[in-house]
Chains A and B, each alone.
Chain A
Amino acid sequence: MNVYDFTVKTKRGEDKSLADYRGKVLLIVNTATRCGFTVQLGDLQKLYDTYKDKGFEILGFPSDQFANQSPGSDDEIQQFCKLNYGVTFTMFAKGDVRGETAHPLFKYLTAQIGFQGFDMSHPIAQLLVDTLNEDFHEYMDDYPRWNFTKYLIDREGNVVARFEPTTTPDKIAADIEKLL
């Protein structure tokens, strides 16, 4: 079994088999709110622009499971949200990415590679950990714990790496290059 066995819904509600991406390097990302970590959308777009001609695709899966929530207190640095980040990589239909209601693809990804630990040197890591401890204790498992958990898939459809929200897209460029 690999990621090509899964079918997902496009934004228009049509079925799309991930087998259509056979032979490409994929980065599967759960995107969500347009706040806080959302700055990563812009960074993901840069990765996409850099590698798309070499057979790289980013598949974004928005989820409401973290919607209207944002890590951090009133003292947080980035206290705004952006409507449009000019993203051109593929965004699929909104759906659940964690727990019993999660899309089977995310259940599979979770089973392949569990939580990798947050990089506490990321400026927002402590706020994220505090938020999870206080309000989302049930999220402390192997499913994506927050937006922008990233799974790297090789050209054969195998899940080869997982990057937590605290790993910024620019830090995974080398891992992508190795697979291209």
Chain B
Amino acid sequence: MLTVFGFEGCPYCVKTKRYLESRGVEYNYRDIELDESAAAECQKISGDLTVPVTTVDGVNYVLGFDKQKIDELIASA
């Protein structure tokens, strides 16, 4: 299942979640502001606390709301 890292007040995180929902793709959402372990994991994946980060396996990830790259990530899953 996909995981989306984000925080409240990040419009691109909302857009990413809505896009996945519109495609019927299930995902876990983790807030990097409220959850320290989520922040640590996000930092480990992308090396930064920039979101949204969408990942399948914690290795391949898409940074930002980029539909095309998210589509590719879903296809590779």
Contact = CB atoms under 8 A, between A and B. Distances in A.
Contacts of B11: 33, 35, 68-70, 81
B77 interface: no
A162 to B, nearest CB: 26
B67 interface: yes
A62 to B, nearest CB: 10
A82 B65 contact: no
Contacts, number: 53
A33 B32 contact: no
Nearest to A32: B9
B61 to A, nearest CB: 12
Contact of A81 (B39, B50, B66, B67): B50
A7 B66 CA distance: 43
A79 B39 CA distance: 19
A84 B39 CA distance: 11
A124 to B, nearest CB: 14
Contacts of A69: 11
Contacts of A79: 12, 15, 64-66
A39 to B, nearest CB: 11
Given A34-B10, A35-B12, A83 B64 contact: no
Nearest to A83: B49
Interface of B: 7, 9-15, 32-33, 39, 48-52, 63-67
In the A-B complex, the 5 residue pairs with the closest CB atoms: A80-B64, A83-B49, A81-B10, A79-B64, A79-B65
26 contacts: A33-B9, A34-B7, A34-B9, A34-B10, A35-B12, A68-B9, A68-B11, A70-B12, A74-B15, A74-B65, A78-B64, A79-B12, A79-B65, A80-B50, A80-B51, A80-B52, A80-B65, A81-B13, A81-B50, A82-B48, A82-B50, A83-B32, A83-B33, A83-B39, A83-B51, A84-B49
